[in-house]
């Protein structure tokens, strides 16, 4: 059953995520970066899927000195080590969310780029069933459903009305 208007639960606290980040940074013998921590915290606390440009703007507005290219490098690092995941949402490019969330799927509006999340155990069970029928084990999935959301449909319908 599809659940809409839900808040996808975090599977790990921010403190735990930050501790993991510190361990990875130490293991890789990298410098601690306040910007990296800030970006991770920003994504963790965000209610929306953020673009690199939105993250860079937030850094600038919060007087954190960082360029867009630095944000891209930070996001690449965070994605490589499993802290964030990216979603190829629409024509505007990748958007990011925290990886420490329960399993969910995305519905993406092709017009405005809005990303809605939902959980559906039936879809997950069907994927497992299909994999087993092929003598495989489901390792991961990535389901994106592209739509025109109700706001964009309403705008489109208003434009289509001839007076």
- Regarding predicted confidence, which is higher, 28 or 159? 28
* Positions of CATH 3.30.1490.190 in the chain: 102-163
Mean pLDDT of 97-115: 87
* CATH match of 102-163 with 3.30.1490.190: yes
Instruction: Tell the residue number behind the tokens 């389901």, with chain if given.
Output: 143
Gap between the Cα atoms of 66 and 59, Å rounded? 7
Per-residue pLDDT tens digits for 139-148:
888 888 999 9
* CATH match of 10-101 with 3.30.1130.10: no
Per-residue pLDDT tens digits for 55-98:
999 998 888 878 899 999 999 999 999 999 999 876 768 999 99
Q: State pTM to two decimals.
A: 0.80
* Per-residue pLDDT band at 163 (split at 50, 70, 90): low
Adjacent-strand bridge partners of 10: 101
Gap between the Cα atoms of 71 and 53, Å rounded? 8
* Positions of CATH 1.10.10.10 in the chain: 10-101
Residue 132 has pLDDT above 50, yes or no: yes
- Residues 112 and 149: beta-carbon distance below 8 Å: yes
Residue 162 pLDDT: 55
Q: In the chain, pLDDT over 70 holds for what percent of residues?
A: 91
């Amino acid at each position: 059953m599809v659940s809409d208007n839900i808040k996808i639960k975090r599977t790990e606290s921010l403190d735990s995520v930050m501790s993991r980040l510190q361990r990875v940074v130490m293991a890789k013998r990298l410098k601690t970066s306040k910007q990296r921590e800030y970006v991770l915290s920003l994504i963790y606390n965000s209610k929306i899927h953020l673009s690199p440009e939105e993250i860079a703007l937030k850094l600038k507005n919060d007087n954190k000195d960082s360029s867009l290219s630095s944000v891209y490098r930070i996001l690449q690092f965070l994605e490589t080590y499993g802290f964030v995941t990216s979603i190829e949402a629409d024509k505007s490019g990748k958007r990011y969310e925290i990886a420490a969330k329960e399993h969910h799927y995305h519905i993406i509006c092709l017009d405005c780029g809005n990303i809605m999340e939902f959980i559906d155990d039936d879809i997950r069970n069907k994927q497992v069933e299909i994999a087993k029928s092929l003598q495989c084990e489901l390792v991961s999935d990535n389901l994106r459903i592209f739509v025109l959301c109700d706001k964009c449909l309403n705008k489109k319908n208003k434009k289509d009305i001839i007076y």
